[in-house]
Each structure stands twice: as structure tokens, then as C-alpha cells.
Amino acid sequence: MKSKSHKFLRNLTTRNSKSQAALEFLTTYAWAFLVIIIMISALAYFGVLSPSKLLPDRCNFGSEIGCDKNRMIINNVNDNTLTMRLANNFGTAVTVTAVTVTTDITPAGSCTGQINDLAIPATGFSWASDTTITLNADCSTGTKLVEKEKIKMSIEVDYYSTSAGEAYGKIIFGEIFTTIQ
């Protein structure tokens, strides 16, 4: 009988020590995990982990319209303007009838587009093949622009091939992602 009770106590102590070791393991690493979560939260709060700051400036219109990401300027609150250079890669002359620029700022704002500092006439702007124009957009949402922050703008260009005529109008969509200056 003595050996059975001794065996029972030994098994009970072994179980308790295993449970105690598991509990100590969990509490030790739970504190470490909690400290890591707090550190990551603090870094995210102060903007260190903001992925948009790490992304490069980009300009995408597809193959029809070329743009230089190094020549895109979005001015700050004082000017509220987007200025960029666009190249006609259509292979033919086109007539631009409208340019619409929208931002991702809430509420989404719309900008008035001008080409070469001139408003687009009702008859459209004739854009010769393999030439470059300057697109300027005066944005009404400029009061919400923050200097050195990234912004995404969507650009919609309504056009038609000059040789085909107005009946064959098309729309091309572009997107830019750049830093506000």
C-alpha cells in the first residue's frame, strides 16, 4: 500500500510541475508578446510604419499617354495645383475635349484641367502626335492638402482621333501617386 500512495504522490507532483512549467512559460512569453505589440502600435501611431510613405512616385496612363513621374508637381495649400507633362504616344493626332482630375481626399474633390495654361476650348484641344503638353489642374480640395504627404489622383482624358472625328470619342484613365510639395 505504501508503494501505491508513494507512486500516486510522485505522479501528482510530476503533473503539477509540468503544469507549473507550462504556466510560467506562457506568462513569461505573454509579457514579451505584449511588449512587442505595444512597440509596433507606437511605431504605427507615429507614422513610422506608414507604407504609403515608402512607395515611390508613379504615373500610369498605359501606352497611349506617356508621363514623367519626375515632372509631376502637386503644390501645397497656397497654390492647390497639379502640374505634369504628358506625351502623345497614340501615333496620330488627337483632339482632347475634356480632362477631369479627382483626388482620394474625402470628400473627393474635382479639379479643373487646363492644357498649356489655357482652358480647353469647346471645340477641343488639338494634340499633335509625338508632342508633349503641360497639364495643369486647379484643385478645389487644396485646403486639405498636407505638405510632404502622398496623394493619389485619378485623371480622365476625353479625346477622339482627329482623323476619325467626334463620333469616335474615347476615354482614357490615368492615375498618379506623388508627394505634395
Same domain, 35 and 67: no
Same domain, 79 and 136: yes
- Give the list of residues 6+ apart from residue 91 with CB closer than 8 angstroms, or none: 129
The CATH number of whichever domain residue 70 belongs to comes to 2.60.40
Same domain, 159 and 70: yes
Same domain, 32 and 72: no
Domain coverage including residue 129: 54-179
Same domain, 40 and 102: no
pLDDT tens-digit profile, the chain (181 residues): 556 665 655 665 556 677 777 788 888 888 889 999 999 999 888 877 777 677 788 888 888 898 877 777 776 555 667 788 889 999 999 999 988 888 766 555 567 677 777 778 888 889 999 898 888 887 665 556 677 778 888 888 999 999 998 899 999 999 988 887 7
Same domain, 31 and 118: no
Reported pTM: 0.67
* 65-71 CB contacts, 8 Å cutoff, 24+ apart: 65/89, 65/90, 65/157, 65/172, 65/174, 67/174, 67/176, 69/176, 69/178
